[in-house]
Amino acid sequence: MDKELLTTFIQNHIPASRETLLKIAAQFEEKDFSKNDYFLKEGKISNYLFLAEGFMRAFTFDTNGNEVTTYFYQKNRVVFEASSFFMRTISTENIQAVTDCKGYFTNFEKLNILFHSTPEFREFGRLMLVKEFAAYKQRTLAMINKSAEERYADLINSNKEIFQYAQLKHIASYLGMTDTSLSRIRKEFSKK
């Protein structure tokens, strides 16, 4: 796998010369993950990944020790735990490959070099942060002001791919409901 997927992804978000794209790509290394491999384990500090192929899931544990899915990442997304990555603190979240995955990996130091030396990458990074922050904010608000049925409908409309790769129990925890509730809602939707 060459770095063409990475450079194309960046160029789709910001205008940049070929020379600049190659300079950015040079700070990333190719990385493969087998199904169930971890990109990030709780207790470690997050790095940064552009996911070129595959599907990943972020999760943590509630106070009773139950797994709670916090996010899903599909191809053409950046994958990292923002507070751990930028604050250099240990993560309380795990990020695991749901399928075999391929991506481009970098660390905090290399990313900072790019932020400080390459205005195009600084703009790209800003766009990625805004996009991810907005998604987290929308999800947080949906957990408060939308019904389980509305959250399910939103997920189908925005990211149907999740149902192809993720286990239903992980989707249920991501939506803030039990497996039984998700099964009931899915049956109701299939009748529509």
Q: Torsions phi, psi of 176, nearest 5?
A: 75, 40
Domain positions in the chain are 4-118
Model pLDDT, residue 1: 47
- E strands, 54-179, are 55-61, 67-74, 77-79, 94-97, 101-106
Q: What value does the mean pLDDT take over residues 158-162?
A: 88
Q: Name beta bridge partners: 53.
A: 102
Could you give the 3-state DSSP secondary structure of residue 72?
strand
- Confidence (pLDDT) at 114: 94
What's the confidence (pLDDT) of residue 172? 95
CATH class of domain segment(s) 4-118? mainly beta
Whole-angstrom Cα distance, residue 112 to residue 80?
A: 15
Give the Cα separation of 142 and 151 in Å (integer): 7
Per-residue model confidence as pLDDT tens digits over 134-152 = 988 999 999 999 999 999 9
- Output the pLDDT for position 159: 86
pLDDT for the residue numbered 46: 97
Write the single-letter amino acid at 142.
Answer: A
pLDDT (tens digit, 9 = 90+) per residue, 59-93? 999 999 999 999 999 999 999 999 999 999 999 99
pLDDT, residue 190, reads 83
Cβ atoms 57, 96 nearer than 8 A: yes
**Model pLDDT for residues 182-192, shown as the tens digit of each residue:** 999 999 888 87
Cα(88)–Cα(95) distance, integer angstroms? 17
Q: Tell me the C-alpha distance between 45 and 26, whole Å.
A: 22
Backbone angles phi, psi at 56, to 5 degrees: -125, 160
Residue 43 has pLDDT above 70, yes or no: yes
Supply 33's token pair: 């993950």
